Amino acid sequence: MKVQRILVRTDSWFRHRSRPATWLVSLLILCVVGALDHLTGVEVVVNFLHLIPIFFITWRVGRDLGLLMSLLCAVVCVWIDGMGRPGLSTWVAMWYVIGDFSIFAIFAVAVTRISRDLAEQRRLNVELQTALSQVKTLSGFLPICSWCNKIRDKAGNWRRLEKYFSTHAEVDFTHSICPE
């Protein structure tokens, strides 16, 4: 549950920030992740940590800038790998960028979809709560006179059908005469 609280607080913090502030924070996270990646050397792969700034940008700002951050993260990954492996060929570096970007881009698109689905779910929940608050249900047996169609209420009073339903079910009646 601690992880969930951290995520909720993080989301709340980012929700109250502007787009440029979100970009700045995400770039700072990218720098920290890049430094950590450099310090661990080429033997320890921490490319998955680059998903953190991609997540924040995509979740708060949108897919297009999330894809841009994905490309930036892929370039940073290869740049750090190049520092750790002098003589890395250009073709191999390009292959790494394409591979990392592909994975990061798929992640950004998935986060975009999840974000949109959650927003739609919140909207539908609000709509449902509004509809449910307006519904008034009648249940149980209604004692009704078989001769005049009056209904007996809980107090034992006989009321006209129209009056009873208007009071208990938020229904209004109009009268007309049927052909029969």
Instruction: Give the bridge partners for 152, in sequence order.
Output: 158
Confidence of residue 136 (pLDDT cuts 50, 70, 90): low
Q: Is 144 helix (H, G, I), strand (E, B) or coil?
A: strand
pLDDT of the residue at 123: 92
Residue of 72 and 17 predicted with greater confidence? 72
Q: For residue 22, what are its two tokens? A: 């979100």
Asked whether the predicted pLDDT for residue 168 surpasses 80, the reply is no
Distance CA 10, CA 25 (A): 12
Confidence of residue 42 (pLDDT cuts 50, 70, 90): confident
Share of the chain above pLDDT 70, in %: 96
CA atoms within 13 A on the CB side of 32: 10
Q: Is 176 helix (H, G, I), strand (E, B) or coil?
A: coil
C-alpha separations of 150 from 133, 138, 158, 167 in Å: 29, 16, 6, 14
Asked whether the predicted pLDDT for residue 77 surpasses 80, the reply is yes
Q: What is the pTM of this model?
A: 0.66
Asked whether the predicted pLDDT for residue 106 surpasses 90, the reply is yes
